[in-house]
């Protein structure tokens, strides 16, 4: 390659990141069991290998634990007369979404339009997008998706967005189902203030031509990891009461509030005591994580949350012992989520795991 081939302009052009080009990722939905079996027959992937022959670092899913988690959530919800609408930000896999739907969920949640596209392509149609969709580019993509599934819903929290979504729906000859997103006290991520402002927003939706008001969302993410079950129960019920009261106020105006959605893995067995609550948006319960395991549970101590089992682990190999008291593995920053507590070792005690760089632990 000649030196001038390495110009910035050429780099931008060839890598599609130029100012005028838009990168539209192709949608990958994973492989079904049959496709995997087909690849195994064609010799593209090895079959019937032991866990100890898997190349590392590798992400492993313990299917027994995973299926017990699926079953436990669905049984809890069935027995306690609430529905669940799992948040798929945990896995982003249509295959897992379908297993959740088969286990009894009334649909799924995604955080954004692109995740919903993957789910629709993978055959899942009942989707709530749990963050407002704002830009005209994303609204257009969402409308295309709505044409493919009438089960698509989105939350909104401001009048300007009502207008934009309604206009887009009308010009596509569609009715889009929406929930008013309410900001539970202290959460402050998305959502309109509970009470009168939320009631007025619901009334604006009702008056809009292209939208259908289905209910409310109140996601109290700030309550999910409150330490100790009793403390979490008290604080979550108080926090969610603001949304329950808003629901009653909307209903007083003669507007039906069919859906009251929110909550997560930390409050799934508390939210069903919130008046009028309909469905819990549990995400992490299928895999669990180190942070959740420490929040304390109803039937456990304040330091252990054993309602669901950790099913997702990283398999790593000890590659060196550079000094006494330290073993280096092949799993570092690129193998773990880095925004929570440090990884913990499975079945090995008296040792802690630290990250030593991109590829080393
Ligand atoms: C809107 C919303 N609902 C539900 C969840 C799922 O929560 P969890 O993984 O704690 O069950 C999340 C997670 O961040 C979320 O953002």
Task: Choose one of 281, 291, 292 to mutate for the ligand 1 pocket test, by most ligand atoms within 8 angstroms of C-beta.
Answer: 281
Which whole number is the average pLDDT over 335-352?
Answer: 92
Q: pLDDT tens digit string along 176-190?
A: 999 999 999 999 999
What would you report as the CA-atom Rg of the chain, rounded to the nearest whole angstrom?
Answer: 23
Specify the pairing of strand 326-329 against strand 318-323.
antiparallel
pLDDT at 27: 62
Instruction: Give the alpha-carbon dihedral of 81, 175, 213, 179, to 10 degrees.
Output: 70
Per the DSSP assignment, residues forming a β-bridge with 262 are 218, 280
Claim to verify: residue 143 and residue 264 sit in the same structural domain: yes
The total of other beta-carbon atoms located within 10 Å of residue 28's CB is 11
Position in ligand 1 atom list of the atom nearest CA 285 = 11
Claim to verify: residue 269 and residue 321 sit in the same structural domain: no
Whole-number Å distance, alpha carbon 2 to ligand 1 midpoint, is 51
Q: Kindly report the protein residue whose alpha carbon is nearest to atom 4 of ligand 1.
A: 281
Position in ligand 1 atom list of the atom nearest CA 224 = 10
Whole-number Å distance, alpha carbon 89 to ligand 1 midpoint, is 8
Q: How far is CA 236 from CA 82, 219, 248, 321, in A?
A: 17, 11, 18, 47
Specify the pairing of strand 108-110 against strand 312-315.
unpaired
Q: Kindly report the protein residue whose alpha carbon is nearest to atom 13 of ligand 1.
A: 283
Whole-number Å distance, alpha carbon 90 to ligand 1 midpoint, is 8
Note whether 145 and 120 are within 8 A (CB): yes
Note whether 85 and 330 are within 8 A (CB): no
Confidence of residue 339 (pLDDT cuts 50, 70, 90): confident
Alpha carbon 73 to chain centroid, angstroms = 16
Claim to verify: residue 261 and residue 196 sit in the same structural domain: yes
The verdict on residue 17 lying in a domain is no
pLDDT at 28: 61
Claim to verify: residue 348 and residue 255 sit in the same structural domain: no
Task: Choose one of 105, 157, 182, 224 to mutate for the ligand 1 pocket test, by most ligand atoms within 8 angstroms of C-beta.
Answer: 224
Per the DSSP assignment, residues forming a β-bridge with 215 are 179, 259
* % of the chain exceeding 90 in pLDDT: 84
Whole-number Å distance, alpha carbon 229 to ligand 1 midpoint, is 18
Residue 196 pLDDT more than 50? Answer: yes
The rounded distance, in Å, linking the Cα atoms of 218 and 179 is 10
Position in ligand 1 atom list of the atom nearest CA 219 = 1
Position in ligand 1 atom list of the atom nearest CA 284 = 9
Q: pLDDT tens digit string along 142-160?
A: 999 999 999 999 999 999 9
Q: State the pTM of this model.
A: 0.91
The rounded distance, in Å, linking the Cα atoms of 329 and 361 is 5
The domain total for the chain is 2
Residue 4 pLDDT more than 70? Answer: no
Buried b (16+ CB within 10 A) or exposed e, 97-108: bbbbbebebbbb
Claim to verify: residue 48 and residue 69 sit in the same structural domain: no
Preceding peptide of 57 cis, ω within 30°: yes
The verdict on residue 183 lying in a domain is yes
pLDDT at 259: 98
Whole-number Å distance, alpha carbon 267 to ligand 1 midpoint, is 11
Residue 134 pLDDT more than 70? Answer: yes
Across the chain, mean pLDDT equals 93
Q: Which helix (H) or strand (E) holds 204?
A: helix 196-207
CATH code of residue 101: 3.20.20.10
Confidence of residue 2 (pLDDT cuts 50, 70, 90): very low
Higher pLDDT, 31 or 330: 330
Instruction: Give the alpha-carbon dihedral of 18, 21, 22, 25, to 10 degrees.
Output: -80
The rounded distance, in Å, linking the Cα atoms of 146 and 300 is 44
Whole-number Å distance, alpha carbon 130 to ligand 1 midpoint, is 9
Residues 6+ apart with CB under 8 A from 46: 40, 53
Full 3-state SS string of 56-123: CCEEEECHHHHHHHHHHHHHHHHHCCCEECCEHHHCCCHHHHHHHHHCCCCCEEECCHHHHHHHHHCC
Q: Which residues line ligand 1 (CB under 6 A)?
A: 87, 89-90, 109, 130, 219, 221, 224, 264-266, 281-284
pLDDT at 9: 59
Claim to verify: residue 52 and residue 75 sit in the same structural domain: no
Q: pLDDT tens digit string along 230-247?
A: 999 999 999 999 999 999
Q: pLDDT tens digit string along 253-269?
A: 999 999 999 999 999 99
Position in ligand 1 atom list of the atom nearest CA 265 = 11
The whole domain housing 338 covers 38-61+311-361
Claim to verify: residue 113 and residue 183 sit in the same structural domain: yes
Note whether 215 and 261 are within 8 A (CB): yes
Which whole number is the average pLDDT over 335-354?
Answer: 92
pLDDT at 51: 85
Q: pLDDT tens digit string along 80-102?
A: 999 999 999 999 999 999 999 99
Claim to verify: residue 124 and residue 258 sit in the same structural domain: yes
Claim to verify: residue 345 and residue 317 sit in the same structural domain: yes
The verdict on residue 26 lying in a domain is no
Position in ligand 1 atom list of the atom nearest CA 262 = 3
Phi, psi of 59 (to 5 degrees): -90, 120
Claim to verify: residue 231 and residue 259 sit in the same structural domain: yes
Q: pLDDT tens digit string along 209-223?
A: 999 999 999 999 999
Claim to verify: residue 168 and residue 258 sit in the same structural domain: yes
Whole-number Å distance, alpha carbon 191 to ligand 1 midpoint, is 15
Whole-number Å distance, alpha carbon 334 to ligand 1 midpoint, is 23
pLDDT at 17: 46
Q: pLDDT tens digit string along 293-315?
A: 999 999 999 999 999 999 999 99
Query: Measured on CA atoms in the order 271, 277, 279, 283, is the torsion positive or negative?
Result: negative
The verdict on residue 6 lying in a domain is no
pLDDT at 347: 86
The total of other beta-carbon atoms located within 10 Å of residue 26's CB is 4
The verdict on residue 2 lying in a domain is no
The rounded distance, in Å, linking the Cα atoms of 187 and 130 is 14
Tokens of 85: 């609408």
Whole-number Å distance, alpha carbon 285 to ligand 1 midpoint, is 10
pLDDT at 18: 43
Q: Of 293, 322, 339, which residue sits at a domain end?
A: 293
The verdict on residue 20 lying in a domain is no
pLDDT at 19: 46
The verdict on residue 29 lying in a domain is no
Strand order in the sheet with 211-218: 83-84, 279-280, 259-262, 211-218, 176-181, 152-156, 127-129, 108-110
Confidence of residue 1 (pLDDT cuts 50, 70, 90): very low
The verdict on residue 30 lying in a domain is no
Which whole number is the average pLDDT over 53-57?
Answer: 92
Claim to verify: residue 168 and residue 97 sit in the same structural domain: yes
């Amino acid at each position: 390659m000649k030196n001038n081939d390495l110009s910035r302009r050429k780099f931008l052009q060839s890598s599609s990141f130029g100012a005028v080009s838009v990168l539209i990722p192709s949608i990958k939905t994973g492989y079904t069991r049959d496709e995997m079996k087909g690849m195994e027959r064609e010799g593209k992937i090895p079959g019937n290998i032991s866990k100890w022959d898997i190349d590392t670092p590798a992400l492993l899913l313990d299917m027994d634990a995973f299926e017990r988690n699926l079953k436990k959530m669905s049984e809890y919800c069935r027995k306690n007369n609430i529905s669940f609408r799992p948040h798929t930000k945990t896995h982003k896999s249509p295959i897992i979404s379908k297993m959740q739907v088969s286990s009894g969920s009334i649909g799924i949640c995604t955080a954004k339009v692109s995740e919903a596209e993957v789910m629709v392509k993978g055959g899942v149609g009942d989707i709530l997008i749990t963050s407002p969709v704002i830009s005209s580019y994303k609204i257009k993509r969402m409308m295309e998706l709505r044409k493919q599934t009438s089960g698509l819903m989105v939350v909104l929290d401001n009048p300007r967005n009502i207008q934009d979504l309604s206009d887009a729906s009308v010009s596509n000859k569609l009715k889009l189902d929406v929930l008013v997103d309410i900001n539970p006290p202290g959460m402050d991520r998305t959502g309109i203030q509970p009470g009168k402002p939320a009631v007025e927003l619901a009334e604006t939706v009702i008056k809009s031509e292209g939208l259908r008001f289905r209910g409310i969302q109140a996601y109290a993410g700030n309550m999910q990891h409150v330490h100790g079950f009793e403390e979490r129960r008290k604080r979550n019920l108080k926090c969610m009461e603001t949304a329950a009261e808003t629901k009653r106020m909307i209903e007083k105006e003669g507007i039906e509030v069919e859906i009251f959605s929110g909550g997560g893995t930390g409050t799934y067995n508390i939210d069903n005591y919130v008046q009028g609550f309909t469905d819990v948006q549990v995400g992490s319960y299928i895999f669990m994580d180190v942070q959740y395991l420490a929040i304390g549970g109803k039937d456990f101590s304040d330091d252990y949350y054993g309602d669901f089992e950790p099913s997702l682990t990283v398999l790593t190999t000890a590659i060196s012992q550079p000094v006494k008291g330290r073993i280096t593995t092949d799993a570092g920053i690129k193998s773990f989520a880095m925004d929570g507590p440090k990884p913990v070792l499975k079945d090995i005690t008296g040792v802690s795991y630290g990250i030593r760089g991109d590829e080393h632990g």
